[in-house]
A and B are shown apart, each in its own frame.
Chain A
Amino acid sequence: MVKNKMLEIKNLEVGINGSSDNILRGLNMSVPSGQVHAIMGPNGTGKSTLANVLAGREGYEIREGSVQFEGENLLELSPEERAAKGVFLSFQYPVEIPGVPAMTFLRAALNSQNKIRGEDKLSAPDFLRLAREKAAMLKVKPDMLKRAINVGFSGGEKKRMEILQMAILEPKLMVLDETDSGLDIDALKIVADGVNSMRSAKRSMIVITHYQRLLDYIKPDMVHVMAGGTIVKSGGPELAHELEKNGYEQFTPAVA
């Protein structure tokens, strides 16, 4: 394995439990530390499946291939172990959890990750300071931290809450699943600024999107086109512009 490869996916074949059809079909991809890779593609090509498989969601069957994260087999870890290792999935539709205040949830998450990693708990005042500082940076109103997480939040607020969680949990690999969906231009810019502020040589990102627009704000190092459950073309940022101009049609015959 090349030393700076943070994520290495090899020949990944994945289906849903109970169905013989594969959604991901021999997918190969590697993301070096510090790079931002965009995955673009039409609906139903397995982009969200890939995100869910990386995060460890139940219900998927890994039929072939491997996923190495910092040289470790990611697929044999539980979702919480993956989170503690530094894998963060920003959900396309963040889940509303009635009765659980955002602050309580964030603190429980951070403490739980620290515990899995064998690190010390953050004291309540220290956590409060950290949460307030990051919230101010992302223009998240303090009032939102007291409300039940994502309950009654607007689309923009939900995505900002995802970014806030990222800022507090400081993951190594961020998987952003259609973070731009449901956002207006202003919200998109705030979210993109938040994501960009987290770019570092030690952190990698996979940005899943339909549209090139998000990539104007979050500049990728590589763009991959996904169709039929695999990556059909990879290239530099210019590939996103080409897709915007010509659409995905040129790749769809590969599905058939």
Chain B
Amino acid sequence: MTGIAHISAADTKLAEVLLSLDVDKVQRQRVVEFIDVGLPSPHAENWRWSDLHRAVDKGLDDFPATAGQKTSVELSGISPDKTTFNSSHTDPITMLAGALAADTARRSYSIEQNHSEPLVLQAIKQNQLCASHVQIKIKSGCQVIILEEIADSGQILAVDVREFVLDPGAHLHRILICNKGLKQTRVQQSFVKVAENGHYSQFILDFGAELSRIETHLSYGGENAKATLSGAYLLTDTARADVTSVIHHPHLDCITRQLHKGIVLDHGQAVFQGKFHVPASGQQTDAKMGHHTLLLSDHGRVRAKPELEIYADDVLCAHGNTTGTLDEDALFYMRQRGLCEADARALLMRAFVAQTLEDLPQVMQEQVGDKIDTWLEQAL
């Protein structure tokens, strides 16, 4: 519980708005519980570079407090589980999602067979303030691709919590595309549990927002599991993107591959926080983290914090982090062959992020590639 001293203007405004919502008794209880806790402290280590309080405060200034349709969730026509929705997570973001989301936006799904076509996860948001909380369980040995795209349809604040539970040998390929939304504050928080021999692949493409925080907490639940986390952020104007992840390796022989790349133009601001945690039980962990940025504007900013917390003595853990600009020699070489400067820059930028797409399923390559190409055309 936070003390009085920590209540910010954003907390107060948010509490007023939440209390004005027309909700049922159960949701009202979640509202009260959230207000008691408040937004994550801006002084907390993993929030100090992304000021959620400032973003919420700014967003709520324009909030007209009109009641709208409830947010609802769909997953490619698959029926949600009938069991009562239940989550073990009690962090402020999950609680905020609980306060904002009605039962229509709190769903659990079980995937019990392979799907060759991507399943589309959609939170249909019709309010300026909205949230969803979705749990997806992938049964043993099943393979599935789940695509989610966050559009800018006028939300001031969008909070989405995702829980993915992979049973032994399951393989989930998750693709999250976050479109640009300069007035939007969005927080996507995912909790992933990967059982033995499971494989979780995640690709995030973020074009930034007033604040776009994509947070992934992954924990291996058994031996020989694998996770591939990749993504790219492409920022223009005043767009901000924050990629935060914490990967726990408590079991033997788990493999993590993480690679994020970003391009920052104009007044774009990026945050990368990546943590590998390996307790003494996580022997033979093989984990690599990479974060590389092209910082192409004097006004842009990139903050990066790779963290390795290792207690096991027989592991392979590495991280690499770079910030740079385009290679002038390569630019001249390309122009000497006839490419105009903008085309040469676009080709180099495209090539820079291309590496993060290597792990994408074939069916998604074109869609994601087109998004990047469109951004490059508009940015240059």
Question: Of A97-105, A190-198, A209-217, A232-240, which stretch is located at the interface?
Answer: A97-105
B355 within 8 A of A: yes
Docked pose: A109 CA to B333 CA in angstroms: 11
Docked pose: A96 CA to B330 CA in angstroms: 7
Contacts of B333 in A (CB 8 A): 91, 94-95, 97
* Min distance, Cβ A200 to any Cβ of chain B, angstroms: 20
B335 within 8 A of A: yes
Docked pose: A123 CA to B334 CA in angstroms: 21
**Do A109 and B354 touch (CB < 8 A)?**
no
A80 within 8 A of B: yes
A55 within 8 A of B: yes
**Taking A80-B340, A99-B354 as contacts, is the C-beta distance between A105 and B335 under 8 angstroms?**
no
**Taking A99-B352, A100-B347, A100-B351 as contacts, is the C-beta distance between A165 and B332 under 8 angstroms?**
no
Which of B332, B343, B354, B355 makes the CB contact (< 8 A) with A112?
B343
Docked pose: A112 CA to B347 CA in angstroms: 13
B379 within 8 A of A: no
Docked pose: A110 CA to B327 CA in angstroms: 22
Size category of the binding interface on chain A? 20 to 34
**Taking A95-B330, A97-B334 as contacts, is the C-beta distance between A109 and B351 under 8 angstroms?**
no
Q: Which residue of A lies closest to B333 (CB)?
A: A95
Q: Which residue of A lies closest to B337 (CB)?
A: A109
Docked pose: A100 CA to B340 CA in angstroms: 16
**Do B339 and A112 touch (CB < 8 A)?**
yes
Contacts of A109 in B (CB 8 A): 334, 337-339
Mostly, the B contact residues are helix
**Taking A84-B338, A108-B347, A112-B340 as contacts, is the C-beta distance between A95 and B355 under 8 angstroms?**
no
Size category of the binding interface on chain B? 20 to 34
Chain B 337-358 residues near chain A, CB threshold 8 A: 337-341, 343, 347-348, 350-352, 354-355
* Min distance, Cβ A101 to any Cβ of chain B, angstroms: 9
**Do B343 and A97 touch (CB < 8 A)?**
no
* Min distance, Cβ A166 to any Cβ of chain B, angstroms: 10
* Min distance, Cβ A202 to any Cβ of chain B, angstroms: 19
Tally A-B pairs: CB < 8 A. 76
B298 within 8 A of A: no
Q: Which residue of B lies closest to A110 (CB)?
A: B338
A72 within 8 A of B: no
Q: Which residue of B lies closest to A91 (CB)?
A: B333
Chain B 116-168 residues near chain A, CB threshold 8 A: none
* Min distance, Cβ B229 to any Cβ of chain A, angstroms: 20
| Highest count of chain A CB atoms <10 Å: which of B328, B333, B338 | B338
Contacts of B328 in A (CB 8 A): 58
**Do A98 and B335 touch (CB < 8 A)?**
no
A116 within 8 A of B: yes
**Do B335 and A78 touch (CB < 8 A)?**
yes
Docked pose: A113 CA to B340 CA in angstroms: 9
* Min distance, Cβ A86 to any Cβ of chain B, angstroms: 10
**Do A97 and B330 touch (CB < 8 A)?**
yes
**Do A83 and B332 touch (CB < 8 A)?**
no
B90 within 8 A of A: no
Docked pose: A56 CA to B333 CA in angstroms: 11
**Taking A79-B332, A95-B327, A95-B329 as contacts, is the C-beta distance between A165 and B337 under 8 angstroms?**
yes
**Do A55 and B336 touch (CB < 8 A)?**
yes
Which of B334, B338, B351 makes the CB contact (< 8 A) with A169?
B338
A31 within 8 A of B: no
A135 within 8 A of B: no
A150-167 interface bits toward B, Cβ cutoff 8 Å, 1 = contact, 0 = none:
000000000000000100
Contacts of A141 in B (CB 8 A): none
Contacts of B351 in A (CB 8 A): 97-100, 148
Q: 18 other contacts beyond A57-B332, A83-B337, with CB at 8 A cut-off?
A: A58-B332, A79-B332, A80-B336, A80-B339, A82-B336, A84-B338, A88-B336, A91-B333, A94-B333, A95-B332, A99-B354, A99-B355, A100-B347, A100-B351, A108-B339, A113-B338, A165-B337, A169-B337
Interface set of A (CB-CB < 8 Å, partner B) = 55-58, 78-80, 82-84, 88-89, 91, 94-100, 104-106, 108-110, 112-113, 116, 148, 165, 169
What would be 27 A-B contacts, judged by CB atoms less than 8 Å apart?
Answer: A55-B336, A56-B336, A57-B332, A79-B332, A79-B336, A80-B335, A80-B338, A80-B339, A83-B337, A88-B336, A91-B336, A95-B330, A96-B330, A97-B327, A98-B351, A99-B350, A99-B355, A100-B347, A105-B347, A106-B337, A108-B347, A109-B337, A109-B338, A112-B343, A113-B337, A116-B338, A165-B337
- Closest A-B pairs by Cβ, 8 of them: A99-B351, A113-B338, A109-B337, A83-B338, A79-B335, A95-B333, A112-B338, A100-B351
